[in-house]
């Protein structure tokens, strides 16, 4: 299916991807897990380029969860190194494509040089008006929800808000993704059928698509196929068929 000529209204406003399967990709080739992460970075680049070309407005990639700190130190070191490399080698292209970059998660837990790279990339692309690229790094959905609840609880305790006035919109405004629409489509590669603590609040009405494809094998064709599947689904948001939201 060719999507370049597809009306923008038929594309999801926000696609989120759980990039899974790097380790299994490497194991199938009798390679160390680190080789899978390097291969996965190539898929990140290809997917971001394809998303820009296809006219997606928002793309969020789950790169590193708050639970990933439990992995071996050598593997965590490789992942941190890949993040550094991405910021250093890809920012010129992203800026040239008018991409706006955001990082969500608890960035205070990463090394100071990575924090600086994050701040510089966000500042450099702040006024860009093309696709919003969000990288979820050191991110956990439950932590995010608890942090938002804690913030509202403090505001209520200080008398700044009335607890009876707290709405879903007010709560969502305290989340890392407050500047973004909720994802319409959440894709997970590698054949696993779970969200793994990713955008739990935001994905309440998202279409979920679980692919057997391992992340390093995910490419433009795979993204186009996922978008085609999304286009074939009927989204009712709790309504009857006749009341479905277009």
Could you list the active site residues?
20, 68
Contact of 218 with 227, CB cutoff 8 Å: no
SS3 letters for the chain? CCCCCCCHHHCCCEEEEECCCHHHHHHHCCCCHHHHHHHHHHHHHHHHHHHHHHCCCEEEEEEEEHHHHHCCHHHHHHHHHHHHHHHHHHHHHHHHCCCEEEEECCHHHCCHHHHHHHHHHHHHCCCCCCCEEEEEEEECHHHHHHHHHHHHHHHHHCCCCCHHHCCHHHHHCCCCCCCCCCCCEEEECCCCCCCCCCCCCCCCCCEEEECCCCHHHCCHHHHHHHHHHHHCCCCCCCCCHHHCCC
């Amino acid at each position: 299916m060719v999507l370049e000529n597809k009306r923008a209204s038929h594309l999801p406003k926000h696609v989120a991807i759980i990039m899974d399967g790097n380790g299994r990709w490497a194991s199938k080739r009798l390679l160390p897990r680190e080789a899978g992460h390097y291969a996965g970075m190539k898929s990140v680049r290809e997917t971001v380029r394809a998303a820009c070309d296809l006219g997606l407005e928002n793309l969020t990639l789950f790169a590193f969860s708050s639970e990933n700190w439990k992995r071996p130190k050598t593997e965590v070191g490789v992942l941190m190194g890949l993040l550094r490399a991405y910021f250093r080698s890809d920012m010129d292209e992203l800026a040239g494509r008018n991409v706006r970059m955001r990082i969500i998660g608890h960035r205070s837990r990463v090394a100071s040089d990575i924090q600086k790279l994050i701040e510089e990339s966000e500042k450099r692309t702040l006024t860009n008006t093309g696709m919003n690229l969000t990288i979820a790094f050191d991110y956990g959905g439950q932590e995010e929800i608890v942090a938002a609840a804690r913030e509202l609880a403090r505001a209520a305790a200080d008398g700044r808000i009335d607890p009876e006035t707290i709405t879903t919109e007010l709560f969502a405004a305290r989340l890392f993704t407050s500047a973004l629409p909720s994802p319409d489509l959440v894709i997970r590669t590698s054949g696993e059928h779970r969200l793994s603590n990713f955008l739990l609040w935001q994905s309440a009405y998202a279409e979920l698509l679980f692919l057997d494809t391992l992340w390093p094998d995910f490419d433009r064709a795979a993204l186009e196929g996922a978008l085609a599947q999304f286009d074939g689904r009927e989204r009712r948001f709790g309504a009857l068929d006749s009341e479905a939201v277009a």
